[in-house]
Amino acid sequence: MLQDKITQYTEEIRAFAPSSSADVENFRLKFLVSKGIVKNLFDEFKTVTPEEKRTLGKVLNEFKQLAEATFKEAQEKFGSSEKQQAQQKEGDLTLPGNGFQLGSRHPISLVRKEIVEIFKKLGFVVSEGPEIEDDWHNFSALNFPPEHPARDMQDTFFIKKQEGNDITLRTHTSSVQVRLMEAGKPPFRAIMPGRVYRNEAISARAHCFFHQVEGLYVDENVSFADLKQTLYHFVQEMYGEGTKVRFRPSYFPFTEPSAEMDISCTICKGAGCNLCKYSGWVEILGCGMVDPNVLENCGIDSKKYSGFAFGMGIERITNLKYVIKDLRLFSENDVRFLSQFETELI
Protein backbone atom coordinates (compact mmCIF):
# COMPACT_ATOMS: atom_id res chain seq x y z
CA MET A 1 0.00 0.00 0.00
CA LEU A 2 1.02 3.61 -0.58
CA GLN A 3 0.94 4.43 3.14
CA ASP A 4 3.33 1.57 3.93
CA LYS A 5 5.78 2.70 1.23
CA ILE A 6 5.76 6.29 2.54
CA THR A 7 6.44 5.05 6.07
CA GLN A 8 9.28 2.78 4.90
CA TYR A 9 11.02 5.49 2.84
CA THR A 10 10.54 8.09 5.58
CA GLU A 11 12.45 5.87 8.01
CA GLU A 12 15.20 5.40 5.42
CA ILE A 13 15.54 9.15 4.91
CA ARG A 14 15.66 9.87 8.66
CA ALA A 15 18.43 7.27 9.00
CA PHE A 16 20.45 8.76 6.10
CA ALA A 17 23.97 9.60 7.31
CA PRO A 18 26.20 10.49 4.35
CA SER A 19 29.98 10.28 4.63
CA SER A 20 30.90 11.82 1.26
CA SER A 21 29.56 13.89 -1.60
CA ALA A 22 29.10 10.62 -3.52
CA ASP A 23 26.56 9.48 -0.91
CA VAL A 24 24.69 12.76 -1.33
CA GLU A 25 24.56 12.33 -5.10
CA ASN A 26 23.30 8.75 -4.75
CA PHE A 27 20.54 10.00 -2.44
CA ARG A 28 19.47 12.55 -5.06
CA LEU A 29 19.43 9.96 -7.80
CA LYS A 30 17.36 7.58 -5.71
CA PHE A 31 14.74 10.01 -4.38
CA LEU A 32 14.60 13.29 -6.30
CA VAL A 33 15.20 12.73 -10.03
CA SER A 34 12.38 12.47 -12.57
CA LYS A 35 12.27 8.68 -12.20
CA GLY A 36 13.05 8.66 -8.49
CA ILE A 37 11.00 7.43 -5.55
CA VAL A 38 9.25 10.74 -4.82
CA LYS A 39 8.00 11.04 -8.40
CA ASN A 40 6.90 7.39 -8.45
CA LEU A 41 4.91 7.81 -5.23
CA PHE A 42 3.10 10.85 -6.63
CA ASP A 43 2.26 8.84 -9.76
CA GLU A 44 0.85 6.07 -7.59
CA PHE A 45 -1.10 8.64 -5.56
CA LYS A 46 -3.13 9.43 -8.70
CA THR A 47 -4.59 5.92 -8.68
CA VAL A 48 -5.92 5.78 -5.09
CA THR A 49 -9.55 6.41 -4.11
CA PRO A 50 -10.83 9.91 -3.26
CA GLU A 51 -11.08 8.96 0.43
CA GLU A 52 -7.42 7.86 0.52
CA LYS A 53 -6.33 11.03 -1.30
CA ARG A 54 -7.72 13.18 1.49
CA THR A 55 -5.70 11.21 4.02
CA LEU A 56 -2.49 10.59 2.07
CA GLY A 57 -2.12 13.94 0.29
CA LYS A 58 -0.73 15.77 3.30
CA VAL A 59 1.49 12.83 4.28
CA LEU A 60 2.96 12.60 0.78
CA ASN A 61 3.74 16.33 0.63
CA GLU A 62 5.47 16.14 4.02
CA PHE A 63 7.50 13.18 2.73
CA LYS A 64 8.60 15.16 -0.33
CA GLN A 65 9.60 18.15 1.81
CA LEU A 66 11.59 15.86 4.10
CA ALA A 67 13.51 14.34 1.17
CA GLU A 68 14.33 17.76 -0.31
CA ALA A 69 15.40 19.23 3.03
CA THR A 70 17.60 16.23 3.83
CA PHE A 71 19.32 16.49 0.45
CA LYS A 72 19.85 20.24 0.74
CA GLU A 73 21.34 19.95 4.22
CA ALA A 74 23.73 17.17 3.15
CA GLN A 75 24.68 19.03 -0.03
CA GLU A 76 25.56 22.20 1.87
CA LYS A 77 27.59 20.23 4.38
CA PHE A 78 29.78 18.37 1.92
CA GLY A 79 29.89 21.17 -0.65
CA SER A 80 31.24 23.55 1.96
CA SER A 81 33.76 20.99 3.19
CA GLU A 82 35.12 20.32 -0.29
CA LYS A 83 35.30 24.05 -1.05
CA GLN A 84 37.32 24.64 2.11
CA GLN A 85 39.69 21.84 1.20
CA ALA A 86 40.17 23.30 -2.29
CA GLN A 87 40.85 26.75 -0.84
CA GLN A 88 43.39 25.29 1.55
CA LYS A 89 45.18 23.54 -1.32
CA GLU A 90 45.22 26.70 -3.44
CA GLY A 91 46.69 28.62 -0.57
CA ASP A 92 49.50 26.13 0.15
CA LEU A 93 52.50 27.62 -1.63
CA THR A 94 54.65 24.60 -0.79
CA LEU A 95 52.63 22.35 -3.12
CA PRO A 96 54.24 21.64 -6.55
CA GLY A 97 52.80 23.47 -9.55
CA ASN A 98 50.65 21.82 -12.17
CA GLY A 99 52.85 20.99 -15.15
CA PHE A 100 51.67 21.26 -18.71
CA GLN A 101 53.05 19.83 -21.91
CA LEU A 102 54.32 22.09 -24.66
CA GLY A 103 52.82 21.60 -28.08
CA SER A 104 54.71 21.82 -31.36
CA ARG A 105 53.99 23.00 -34.87
CA HIS A 106 53.62 20.43 -37.62
CA PRO A 107 56.65 20.29 -39.95
CA ILE A 108 54.40 20.89 -42.97
CA SER A 109 53.10 24.08 -41.31
CA LEU A 110 56.63 25.20 -40.49
CA VAL A 111 57.86 24.77 -44.06
CA ARG A 112 54.71 26.29 -45.57
CA LYS A 113 55.21 29.37 -43.39
CA GLU A 114 58.87 29.62 -44.42
CA ILE A 115 58.03 29.32 -48.13
CA VAL A 116 55.38 32.03 -47.81
CA GLU A 117 57.81 34.35 -46.00
CA ILE A 118 60.49 33.91 -48.68
CA PHE A 119 58.14 34.83 -51.52
CA LYS A 120 56.51 37.65 -49.58
CA LYS A 121 59.89 39.38 -49.56
CA LEU A 122 59.74 39.30 -53.37
CA GLY A 123 56.31 40.93 -53.44
CA PHE A 124 54.17 37.80 -53.76
CA VAL A 125 50.83 37.78 -51.93
CA VAL A 126 48.98 34.69 -50.71
CA SER A 127 45.86 33.65 -52.64
CA GLU A 128 43.59 30.74 -51.70
CA GLY A 129 40.66 28.92 -53.29
CA PRO A 130 38.23 26.00 -52.80
CA GLU A 131 39.39 22.39 -52.53
CA ILE A 132 36.27 21.20 -54.40
CA GLU A 133 36.54 22.40 -57.99
CA ASP A 134 34.75 22.21 -61.33
CA ASP A 135 36.32 20.91 -64.52
CA TRP A 136 36.82 24.39 -65.97
CA HIS A 137 39.05 25.70 -63.19
CA ASN A 138 40.84 22.40 -62.53
CA PHE A 139 41.43 21.36 -66.16
CA SER A 140 39.90 23.14 -69.14
CA ALA A 141 41.05 26.71 -68.41
CA LEU A 142 44.56 25.33 -67.87
CA ASN A 143 44.78 24.01 -71.44
CA PHE A 144 43.46 20.49 -70.68
CA PRO A 145 40.86 20.10 -73.46
CA PRO A 146 38.42 17.15 -73.25
CA GLU A 147 40.05 13.79 -74.05
CA HIS A 148 43.48 15.41 -74.00
CA PRO A 149 46.08 12.80 -72.95
CA ALA A 150 47.54 15.25 -70.44
CA ARG A 151 44.47 14.66 -68.24
CA ASP A 152 45.84 11.19 -67.60
CA MET A 153 48.72 12.84 -65.73
CA GLN A 154 46.25 13.66 -62.95
CA ASP A 155 44.73 10.75 -60.97
CA THR A 156 41.54 12.56 -60.05
CA PHE A 157 38.92 12.01 -57.35
CA PHE A 158 35.61 12.76 -59.06
CA ILE A 159 32.77 13.85 -56.78
CA LYS A 160 30.06 14.30 -59.39
CA LYS A 161 30.13 13.49 -63.08
CA GLN A 162 28.02 15.91 -65.06
CA GLU A 163 28.10 16.64 -68.75
CA GLY A 164 30.52 19.40 -69.63
CA ASN A 165 31.65 20.28 -66.09
CA ASP A 166 32.62 17.50 -63.68
CA ILE A 167 33.03 18.28 -59.98
CA THR A 168 36.29 17.03 -58.46
CA LEU A 169 38.68 17.37 -55.57
CA ARG A 170 41.33 19.68 -56.95
CA THR A 171 44.46 17.94 -58.19
CA HIS A 172 46.63 21.07 -57.93
CA THR A 173 46.36 24.63 -56.69
CA SER A 174 46.67 25.88 -60.29
CA SER A 175 42.90 26.27 -60.13
CA VAL A 176 43.48 29.21 -57.77
CA GLN A 177 45.62 30.86 -60.47
CA VAL A 178 42.67 30.69 -62.86
CA ARG A 179 40.30 32.21 -60.32
CA LEU A 180 42.80 34.96 -59.56
CA MET A 181 43.25 35.91 -63.24
CA GLU A 182 39.50 35.74 -63.95
CA ALA A 183 38.69 38.08 -61.07
CA GLY A 184 41.24 40.81 -61.72
CA LYS A 185 43.59 42.53 -64.12
CA PRO A 186 47.40 42.21 -64.46
CA PRO A 187 49.85 42.55 -62.92
CA PHE A 188 49.55 39.45 -60.70
CA ARG A 189 52.20 38.25 -58.31
CA ALA A 190 50.85 35.59 -55.96
CA ILE A 191 51.51 32.20 -54.41
CA MET A 192 48.80 29.61 -53.79
CA PRO A 193 49.43 27.24 -50.86
CA GLY A 194 46.92 24.49 -50.10
CA ARG A 195 45.96 20.84 -49.90
CA VAL A 196 45.40 18.81 -53.07
CA TYR A 197 44.14 15.29 -53.79
CA ARG A 198 45.11 12.54 -56.21
CA ASN A 199 43.98 8.94 -56.41
CA GLU A 200 47.31 7.31 -55.66
CA ALA A 201 48.36 4.31 -53.56
CA ILE A 202 49.72 5.40 -50.17
CA SER A 203 53.38 4.57 -49.64
CA ALA A 204 56.58 6.05 -48.23
CA ARG A 205 56.91 8.20 -51.38
CA ALA A 206 53.27 8.99 -52.28
CA HIS A 207 49.93 9.84 -50.65
CA CYS A 208 46.34 10.42 -51.75
CA PHE A 209 46.50 13.96 -50.36
CA PHE A 210 49.41 16.32 -50.03
CA HIS A 211 50.23 20.03 -50.00
CA GLN A 212 51.39 22.36 -52.74
CA VAL A 213 52.60 25.90 -53.15
CA GLU A 214 52.17 27.30 -56.63
CA GLY A 215 53.29 30.70 -57.83
CA LEU A 216 52.16 33.05 -60.60
CA TYR A 217 53.65 36.27 -61.97
CA VAL A 218 51.91 38.00 -64.90
CA ASP A 219 52.92 41.40 -66.22
CA GLU A 220 54.33 43.04 -69.31
CA ASN A 221 57.71 41.73 -70.49
CA VAL A 222 58.03 38.86 -68.02
CA SER A 223 60.75 36.45 -69.18
CA PHE A 224 62.13 33.02 -68.40
CA ALA A 225 65.15 34.77 -66.89
CA ASP A 226 62.81 36.33 -64.30
CA LEU A 227 61.51 32.86 -63.45
CA LYS A 228 65.02 31.40 -63.03
CA GLN A 229 66.24 34.22 -60.81
CA THR A 230 63.13 34.00 -58.63
CA LEU A 231 63.63 30.27 -58.10
CA TYR A 232 67.39 30.61 -57.58
CA HIS A 233 66.63 33.06 -54.78
CA PHE A 234 64.09 30.69 -53.22
CA VAL A 235 66.54 27.77 -53.16
CA GLN A 236 69.34 29.83 -51.62
CA GLU A 237 66.98 31.10 -48.90
CA MET A 238 65.50 27.69 -48.14
CA TYR A 239 68.54 25.42 -48.33
CA GLY A 240 71.57 27.67 -48.14
CA GLU A 241 73.92 29.42 -50.52
CA GLY A 242 75.92 26.29 -51.39
CA THR A 243 72.92 24.50 -52.92
CA LYS A 244 73.29 23.85 -56.64
CA VAL A 245 70.41 24.20 -59.10
CA ARG A 246 69.71 22.82 -62.56
CA PHE A 247 66.78 23.08 -64.98
CA ARG A 248 65.65 20.24 -67.28
CA PRO A 249 63.20 20.62 -70.19
CA SER A 250 59.79 19.14 -69.43
CA TYR A 251 56.12 19.33 -70.43
CA PHE A 252 53.07 20.76 -68.70
CA PRO A 253 49.83 21.65 -70.54
CA PHE A 254 49.60 25.09 -68.92
CA THR A 255 53.18 26.32 -69.50
CA GLU A 256 55.35 26.64 -72.61
CA PRO A 257 58.29 26.32 -72.45
CA SER A 258 58.29 24.13 -69.35
CA ALA A 259 61.02 22.84 -67.07
CA GLU A 260 61.64 20.80 -63.95
CA MET A 261 64.08 22.14 -61.38
CA ASP A 262 66.50 19.97 -59.42
CA ILE A 263 68.73 20.85 -56.51
CA SER A 264 71.80 19.08 -55.22
CA CYS A 265 70.73 16.49 -52.65
CA THR A 266 70.76 18.04 -49.19
CA ILE A 267 71.19 14.66 -47.50
CA CYS A 268 74.25 13.26 -49.28
CA LYS A 269 75.52 16.64 -50.54
CA GLY A 270 75.62 15.28 -54.09
CA ALA A 271 77.55 12.10 -53.29
CA GLY A 272 74.57 9.81 -53.93
CA CYS A 273 71.99 8.20 -51.63
CA ASN A 274 68.62 6.43 -51.66
CA LEU A 275 66.64 9.67 -51.72
CA CYS A 276 68.35 11.02 -54.83
CA LYS A 277 68.68 7.52 -56.33
CA TYR A 278 72.45 7.96 -56.28
CA SER A 279 72.29 10.75 -58.86
CA GLY A 280 73.18 13.56 -56.48
CA TRP A 281 70.11 15.55 -57.64
CA VAL A 282 66.53 15.80 -56.37
CA GLU A 283 63.61 17.32 -58.27
CA ILE A 284 61.70 19.87 -56.18
CA LEU A 285 59.35 21.68 -58.57
CA GLY A 286 57.96 22.19 -62.06
CA CYS A 287 57.80 25.57 -63.77
CA GLY A 288 57.51 27.43 -67.06
CA MET A 289 56.10 30.39 -68.93
CA VAL A 290 52.30 30.60 -68.78
CA ASP A 291 50.84 29.27 -72.03
CA PRO A 292 49.12 32.04 -74.05
CA ASN A 293 45.99 29.88 -74.26
CA VAL A 294 45.69 29.95 -70.46
CA LEU A 295 45.96 33.75 -70.42
CA GLU A 296 43.29 34.06 -73.14
CA ASN A 297 41.00 31.60 -71.29
CA CYS A 298 41.15 33.95 -68.31
CA GLY A 299 40.43 37.07 -70.36
CA ILE A 300 44.03 38.37 -70.49
CA ASP A 301 45.59 39.68 -73.71
CA SER A 302 48.48 37.27 -74.35
CA LYS A 303 50.03 39.65 -76.89
CA LYS A 304 50.44 42.32 -74.22
CA TYR A 305 51.11 40.24 -71.13
CA SER A 306 53.31 37.27 -70.34
CA GLY A 307 54.00 35.42 -67.14
CA PHE A 308 55.60 32.50 -65.38
CA ALA A 309 54.24 29.86 -63.03
CA PHE A 310 55.76 27.23 -60.77
CA GLY A 311 54.54 24.58 -58.37
CA MET A 312 56.15 22.52 -55.63
CA GLY A 313 55.05 19.87 -53.14
CA ILE A 314 55.55 21.03 -49.57
CA GLU A 315 56.16 17.44 -48.45
CA ARG A 316 59.13 17.14 -50.82
CA ILE A 317 60.59 20.44 -49.60
CA THR A 318 60.10 19.27 -46.00
CA ASN A 319 61.72 15.90 -46.71
CA LEU A 320 64.86 17.60 -47.89
CA LYS A 321 64.92 20.18 -45.09
CA TYR A 322 64.39 17.79 -42.17
CA VAL A 323 65.62 14.49 -43.75
CA ILE A 324 62.23 12.74 -43.46
CA LYS A 325 62.10 9.66 -45.68
CA ASP A 326 58.48 8.49 -45.19
CA LEU A 327 55.58 10.72 -46.32
CA ARG A 328 53.12 8.80 -44.14
CA LEU A 329 54.65 10.28 -41.00
CA PHE A 330 53.14 13.65 -41.88
CA SER A 331 49.55 12.42 -41.46
CA GLU A 332 49.83 9.83 -38.66
CA ASN A 333 49.81 12.37 -35.78
CA ASP A 334 52.50 10.48 -33.88
CA VAL A 335 53.49 12.75 -30.98
CA ARG A 336 56.97 11.20 -30.87
CA PHE A 337 57.54 12.38 -34.44
CA LEU A 338 55.91 15.81 -34.10
CA SER A 339 57.72 16.68 -30.86
CA GLN A 340 61.05 16.79 -32.72
CA PHE A 341 60.13 20.08 -34.37
CA GLU A 342 59.81 23.69 -33.25
CA THR A 343 58.13 23.92 -29.84
CA GLU A 344 55.56 26.62 -29.07
CA LEU A 345 52.88 27.24 -26.48
CA ILE A 346 49.50 26.08 -27.78
Q: Do 197 and 283 contact (CB within 8 A), yes or no? A: no
Q: Give the integer Cα–Cα distance in Å for 295 and 291.
A: 7
Candidates 146, 206, 180, 152; CA nearest to 309 is 180
3-state secondary structure of 228: helix
Crossing angle for the helix pair 314-322 and 224-239, to the nearest 10 degrees: 40
Q: Which amino acid belongs to residue 94?
A: T
Q: Do 193 and 173 contact (CB within 8 A), yes or no? A: yes
The secondary element (H helix, E strand) that includes residue 7 is helix 2-14
Q: Give the integer Cα–Cα distance in Å for 91 and 47.
A: 57
Q: Which amino acid belongs to residue 42?
A: F
Q: Give the integer Cα–Cα distance in Å for 215 and 125.
A: 10
Q: Give the integer Cα–Cα distance in Å for 36 and 41.
A: 9
At a CB cut-off of 8 Å and minimum separation 6, what does 313 contact?
210, 211, 212, 285
Crossing angle for the helix pair 2-14 and 50-91, to the nearest 10 degrees: 20
90 is annotated as contributing to ligand binding: no
Residue positions forming the annotated binding site for Mg(2+): 256
